[in-house]
Amino acid sequence: MFDNLSEKLQRVFKNLRGEGKLTAENMESALREIRMALLEADVNFRVVKQLIENIKVKATGEEVLSALSPSQQVIKIVHEELIKILGSHESKLRFANESPTVFLIVGLQGSGKTTSTGKLARWLSKNGHRPQMVSVDVYRPAAREQLSVIGREIGQPVYPGAAEEKLPLDLARSARREAVNSGRDVLLVDTAGRLHIDDQLMTELQDLKGQLNPVEILFVADAMTGQDAVKSADEFHKRLGITGVILTKMDGDARGGAALSIRHVTGQPLKFVGVGEKFDALEPFHPDRAANRILGMGDILSFIEKAEEAIDKKQAFEMQRKLIENDFTLEDFRDQLRQIRKLGPLQNILGMMPKMGILKELKDAKVDEKEITHVVAIIDSMTPRERANHMIINGSRRRRIAKGSGTTVQEVNQLLKQYAQARKMMKSFSGGLLGRKMGKMKLPAGFPFGEMPKF
Amino acid sequence: MIQTLFGTVEKEPSLLERLKAGVEKTRSGLVSALDTAVHGRKEIDADVLDDIEYTLISADLGVRTTEEILTRIRDSAERHQLNDAGEIKGLIREQLLEILAASERAPARVEEPPAVVLVVGVNGSGKTTTIGKLAHRFKNEERSVLLCAADTFRAAAIEQLEIWGERTGSPVIRQSAGSDPSAVLFDSLNAARARKADYVIVDTAGRLQTKENLMAELQKMSRTARKVIPDAPHEVLLVLDATTGQNGLEQARKFTETSGVTGIVLAKLDGTAKGGIVVAIARELNLPIRYVGVGEKIDDLLPFDAEKFIASLFE
């Protein structure tokens, strides 16, 4: 998320680092590059223009602090401006006083409405709600079928609709009745995708709004959208008064400029971002953290939250003790890998790390999830004695382990070598910082599990 | 004449008109905006260039392509080949046509059916709908079509394709949801051979280009296809949502690297004033555009022709 944009901006800041102070000249080229980076991230042209103007005024105006270096100054200013656009804190979903609360999910075709509806239902149910879903997309082939399948998968009810119910309004009304009868407190209405220029369908949405009185009208936007993001969001906002945005497909390499633009133009907050194919891959949006991420400061807060969710504290503490006492066996190694996996895809986790300093190299560390599976399999194929003491693993044991785990002797050798290296390195860890070597090393030895318990 | 995998077919007489209707938005977004930018101005000054830059960037042409065009305008103005702001539009038209025409390439001819068309793209770009329209188009060329439901991942994707199969009267080869897409493909190709189908159109699951394992799955599908038909897939179409911004370049680049894209389908063009990303793709990756989707009806998929396309925008 935002990685590309972040990288580009980093370069700008780096170039400024050598400068003694901010002048009109060095700002000029920095601003040009910031502008380019933002435009290539698909931030709307007008938004960019205004952002650059604001940065310029601030940087050359009286707010310049002599205590900071020029690059720090620019980072600070850009950060402030980003926060200004994105908002400063998370904006939560609102709920009606009287159940069921109705959420209307709207957006262009292919933006990810149906998937987001499922993800949102899942998120709601995890957060103490009892959602009911209904698809009123009577146009796209198999659209309603799609939501039913999703409902079954996540174990949340979808109103199926009776045979004679062919109109979106009828479907929605019956679904609400159903929600009341079955004690559901939130009704998610998945609507048909439409172009913002489609008058008839927009009117249909307005009717739905009038009848259902939704508390939230969530506009689903594709993170890969270009300059058009603003226009469609604006049009939906004018016709319906959207109350929030779900930005989807943020797990790709989209630079997420649309996030900035939509917020700026509609004034409505981003509430969620979709970050993966699985139904739990929907996260509340934290603008402050996103700004940090755009500027390469990492998103340690999200990382900590994730780690807290997935990692057993006692175990982590125990691990730390073992590391310090150099009592770290292959078995511990495997447990650690399993815990890391619980955090989600490794690439996502690495994305949360600050890009400054040593950790920057980690970004290029090739993350191969399969490799971890192999390593775990190899360790699984060892006897308890071998796991406790890797020194006894000789050639014939290696062959047996390779056979048992479906890998090759080379892979077993590699693992043992990496493990030995990791042990050695952890011994020298007491200082706390990661060795420079780590970024260049292949996983799993390259992953900073030694640092984990500290967060 | 329109080039197909089986040689040429008659050009549709109303193509220009239909294109014009389809790209109306783009015309008003790009060309009318250009008109406004130069309207009543004679001198080519910073203001005019600024407005033009805004227009081009707004159409998702991208910073690089836009800069290139602006540089050309500046150069021409300096050398006095361009004396009036009103002439700028002509210059831009020329350049756009140049870029798009340079990447135009007829598909390789398929000697012996079935021709295998693999349709790939990110989630929600419009693959399945495009396949429905393609099937309809091939049928109108009097070719038999078989659809392969290899999107076994997304909920109800198979059902969606089956509905298109019914609409176009094309058989759909499917397995259950969650099965191996390569296995479905293998079955489909064998079925196509047995039934002597002219075309096999393969629907694949949407995938973001950064997901390496999913991209590897596409490579596996190509390998599988070659096991049944040595030179398959004959055409790999990347479906791109016309509202896609600069990420479209990355999509085209990565999909080409891993699955050998041979052409672009620009979907949902009717809804947006944008679509400029294809110019950037044509310019940087030299990929031809094969079709444009201009509406929700079954025959709203038009063959792409650089000259006609530019004409429909500027005339």
Mean pLDDT score, B171-176: 94
Are A124 and A243 part of one and the same domain?
yes
Task: Report, in this order, helix, strand and coil percent for chain B, each rounded to 5.
Answer: 50, 15, 35
Are A107 and A176 part of one and the same domain?
yes
Report the SS3 class of residue A166: coil
Mean pLDDT score, A97-107: 93
pLDDT score of A438: 39
Provide the mean pLDDT of chain B.
89
Q: Compare all CA atoms of chain A with the CA of B153 and give the residue at the minimum distance.
A: A277
| Domain presence at residue A381 | yes
Give tens-digit pLDDT for B193-245. Answer: 999 999 999 999 999 888 888 999 999 999 999 999 999 899 999 999 988 88
Are A348 and A424 part of one and the same domain?
yes
**Residue of A49, A202, A228 for testing the chain B interface, max B β-carbons within 10 Å:** A228
| Domain presence at residue A66 | yes
Provide the mean pLDDT of chain A.
79
Residues in a beta bridge with B239 = B265
Beta carbons within 10 angstroms of residue B271's beta carbon: 26
Task: Give ∠ CA A259-A262-A265 in degrees, rounded to 5.
Answer: 145
A316 falls in which pLDDT band (50, 70, 90)? low
- The residue range of the domain holding A76 is 3-86
> Contacts of residue A231 in chain B, CB cutoff 8 Å?
272-273
Are A335 and A421 part of one and the same domain?
yes
> Contacts of residue B238 in chain A, CB cutoff 8 Å?
none
pLDDT score of A198: 78
Are A141 and A31 part of one and the same domain?
no
Which range has highest mean pLDDT (A19-23, A70-74, A353-357, B78-82)? B78-82
pLDDT score of A447: 41
Of B148, B158, B165, B140, the residue nearest B114 (C-alpha): B148
Query: How far B208 CA sits from the closest chain A CA (Å)?
Result: 6
**Residue of B51, B130, B246, B265 for testing the chain A interface, max A β-carbons within 10 Å:** B246
CATH code, domain carrying A147: 3.40.50.300
Beta carbons within 10 angstroms of residue B277's beta carbon: 31
- Check whether B170 has a pLDDT greater than 90: yes
| Domain presence at residue A345 | yes
Is the bond leading into A100 cis (omega within 30 degrees of zero)?
yes
Beta carbons within 10 angstroms of residue B290's beta carbon: 22
Mean pLDDT score, A121-141: 93
> Contacts of residue A221 in chain B, CB cutoff 8 Å?
none
Spatial separation of the C-alpha atoms in residues A110 and A236, rounded to whole Å = 16
- Check whether A188 has a pLDDT greater than 60: yes
What's the total number of domains in chain A? 3
| Domain presence at residue A446 | no
Are A60 and A117 part of one and the same domain?
no
- Check whether A451 has a pLDDT greater than 70: no
Are A266 and A315 part of one and the same domain?
no
pLDDT score of B86: 77
A358 falls in which pLDDT band (50, 70, 90)? very low
Query: How far A197 CA sits from the closest chain B CA (Å)?
Result: 7
**Which of A293, A327, A362 delimits the end of a domain?**
A293
> Contacts of residue B246 in chain A, CB cutoff 8 Å?
40-42, 226, 255
Are A181 and A288 part of one and the same domain?
yes
- List all residues 6 or more positions away from A297 whose beta carbon is below 8 Å from its beta carbon: A354, A355, A356
Tokens of A194: 């439409």
Spatial separation of the C-alpha atoms in residues B96 and A286, rounded to whole Å = 41
Spatial separation of the C-alpha atoms in residues A238 and A242, rounded to whole Å = 8
Mark B49-67 as b/e (b = at least 16 C-beta within 10 Å): bebbbbbbbbbbbbbebbe
Give tens-digit pLDDT for A237-260. Answer: 999 999 999 999 888 777 777 878
CB contact under 8 A, A112 and B123: yes
Tokens of B129: 């709908």
Are A237 and A134 part of one and the same domain?
yes
Spatial separation of the C-alpha atoms in residues B81 and B76, rounded to whole Å = 5
Beta carbons within 10 angstroms of residue B307's beta carbon: 12
Are A238 and A308 part of one and the same domain?
no
Mean pLDDT score, B284-299: 90
Residues in a beta bridge with A32 = none
Spatial separation of the C-alpha atoms in residues B95 and B103, rounded to whole Å = 13
**Which of A230, A260, A293 delimits the end of a domain?**
A293
pLDDT score of B265: 95
Element (H, E) at A246: strand A244-248
pLDDT score of A453: 32
Give tens-digit pLDDT for B29-64. Answer: 788 888 888 887 778 888 888 888 888 888 888 888
Question: Residue B245, Cα to own-chain centre: how many angstroms?
Answer: 14
| Domain presence at residue A342 | yes
**Which of A62, A86, A110 delimits the end of a domain?**
A86
- List all residues 6 or more positions away from A391 whose beta carbon is below 8 Å from its beta carbon: none
Cβ–Cβ under 8 Å, residues A118 and A147? yes
| Domain presence at residue A451 | no
A425 falls in which pLDDT band (50, 70, 90)? low
pLDDT score of A401: 92
Give tens-digit pLDDT for B92-125. Answer: 999 999 999 999 888 888 888 899 999 999 998 9
* Predicted-assembly ipTM surpassing the 0.90 threshold: no
| Domain presence at residue A110 | yes
Cβ–Cβ under 8 Å, residues A349 and A343? yes
Spatial separation of the C-alpha atoms in residues B112 and A38, rounded to whole Å = 49
A89 falls in which pLDDT band (50, 70, 90)? confident
Tokens of A338: 């399993």
Report the SS3 class of residue A198: coil
- Among the partner residues A145, A231, A251, nearest to B156 by beta-carbon distance: A145
